[in-house]
Every structure is written in C-alpha cells, then in structure tokens.
Amino acid sequence: MSTKDLNFYYGESQALYSISLAFEIKQVTALIGPSGCGKSTLLRCLNRMNDLIPYSRAEGGVFLDGEDIYDPSVDVVALRRHVGMVFQKPNPFPKTIFENVAYGLRVNGIKDKTFLRDRVETSLKQAALWDEVKDRLHNSALGLSGGQQQRLCIARALAVEPEVVLMDEPASALDPIATQKIEDLIHELKTTYTIIIVTHNMQQAARVSDVTAFFYLGKLIETGKTESIFTRPRLKETSDYITGRFG
C-alpha cells in the first residue's frame, strides 16, 4: 500500500500536504508526531473512513495492489474489507462475543454456520483471545475487560481476512499489561498482515514497528527504518520530537 502526493482538506483547512509514502508488505509501519500533525487523518485516508466527514476531500492517490482507492470506480465497501481498522477506544458492538467477530462475515453475505464458527475461532486465536473466551462466546462482549475488548476488536477486523490492518492508537486506552499483550500481538500479526499503526508512545513505536514515519503540521518530515529513525534521525525536528523536546 502506498500514497502519492496525497493532500487532504477539512473544508478550507488543509490537513495533509503532498504525502508520498510506501508501506512495506508484512511489516509494521508506525506513524508518529505531535497531536494534530495529520497522522490519524492519513490513517483514515487509507480506508476512506474520512469520506464520512462532511466537506472533506482528498487529492492525489492512495494505492492498494496498484489500484487507486480514490478512483470513482472503486467500491468503498469492498475496499474496507481489504483494509481493516482497529480504533483508539475498544468499540465492540453490544452483541455477543461470537456475533462481534462474525459481524464482518455476515454483512458480506456468509451464512454457512460451520464456516462462521471456524473463522470466529481462527480469528480469536490469532488475536490471542480464544483461551479466555472460548467458554463464553455467547455472552455479551461488553462484559470483557478493556484489553480483552480491544483484542476482540482486532479479532473482528481479522475475521474478514484483510490485507492491511490500520491501528489508530490501539493501546492508548489500556493499562500497561493489556498494552503489552497488544504489542506482542502486533508482532505475531505482521507475519500475515501489513500493519500501519498510529501511536503517541515513542517507546511503543520503537518496540513494535519496522518502519517509522514522522509527521509534523500535516507534512511527512522523515521516514526510514525504525532503528535508524530512533538512533540516527537525519533531521533536527525528528530528533527533537523523539527525545521529547517538543510535542
């Protein structure tokens, strides 16, 4: 997945300036930067979640498997099946654990019970939640702890077998132990999925990502291997930010 000269506007104000960035397949890319720098906006351009915001518009291209997802011929609904998303706050539906994970499959017209059961189990296992919930799949998802809920949301996103998983500060509402579990999970998942994660937590970006992109005021300032960004940033803004001098 990649973007080319992507500009994004909320009404009159421009939020992204000519972003060109390629996301490596089966790698974790971290988007970092101070609040309001456009990293979440960029993330939400990647599955066109920004379409929901009135008076917003995108210019330039976002490419998935060589196809521009902003092309008028693209079906947004189908696109979102290929680009899954995990949100900042755990947001399971007020349904059972099983129905939460099966939701994406059901809306895509899958009715086969055995298939649904298998996919739900696989997804919950992938999200490292199966052992904790296998005996209460038909209880409400709202009875789970915050960390479990977030892993459920990850399982829900994985169930439709996306290529890319977008994560918008997935651990910011969780305690350290739950955060640790999510980070371990991200390590596991990158063997199968391309992951793009927005985070405010420098240590988290350093721990989980392979590539880091630093944003400031809607511009992509610097990008490179996480290791080199954190040890030898080329630009002063980047080093100032990651060492905590501003932001």
Partner 1 sequence: MIGKTDTIQGRRKWLQGTMFGLFRVAALINGMALLLVVYFLVARGWRAINWTFLTQPPMDSMTKGGILPCIVGTLCLSLGAIFIALPIGVASAIYLQEYARPGRVVGMIRLGINNLAGVPSVVFGLFGLAFFVVYLKMGVSILAGSLTLAAMTLPVIIGATEEALRGVPSTYREASLGLGATKWQTIYRVVLPAALPGILTGAILGISRAAGETAPIMFTAAVFYTPSLPTSIFDEVMALPYHIYVLATAGTDIEATRPLQYGTALVLIVLVLGLNLVAIIYRSRLRKNR
Under the rule (CB under 8 A), what is the footprint of partner 1? 47, 49, 52, 54, 77-78, 80-81, 84-85, 87, 89, 91-95, 103-104, 106-108, 140, 142, 153, 156-157, 160
CB of 246 to partner 1, least distance (A): 30
CA distance 142 to 11: 36
CB of 183 to partner 1, least distance (A): 21
CA distance 195 to 189: 8
Type and span of the H or E element at 132: helix 130-133
Closer to partner 1 by Cβ: residue 17 or 87: 87
Closer to partner 1 by Cβ: residue 140 or 201: 140
Closer to partner 1 by Cβ: residue 37 or 153: 153
Closer to partner 1 by Cβ: residue 54 or 176: 54
- 199 is written with which tokens? 């985070």
Helix axes 146-159, 176-189, angle to 10 degrees: 20
- 121 is written with which tokens? 């189990």
Closer to partner 1 by Cβ: residue 81 or 200: 81
Question: Cα 9 to chain center, whole Å?
Answer: 21
CB of 93 to partner 1, least distance (A): 6
Is 37 within 8 Å of 246 (Cβ atoms)?
Answer: no
CB of 211 to partner 1, least distance (A): 23
CB of 207 to partner 1, least distance (A): 25
CB of 216 to partner 1, least distance (A): 26
- 97 is written with which tokens? 């654990």
- The total of other beta-carbon atoms located within 10 Å of residue 116's CB is 18
Pairing of strands 219-225, 83-86: unpaired
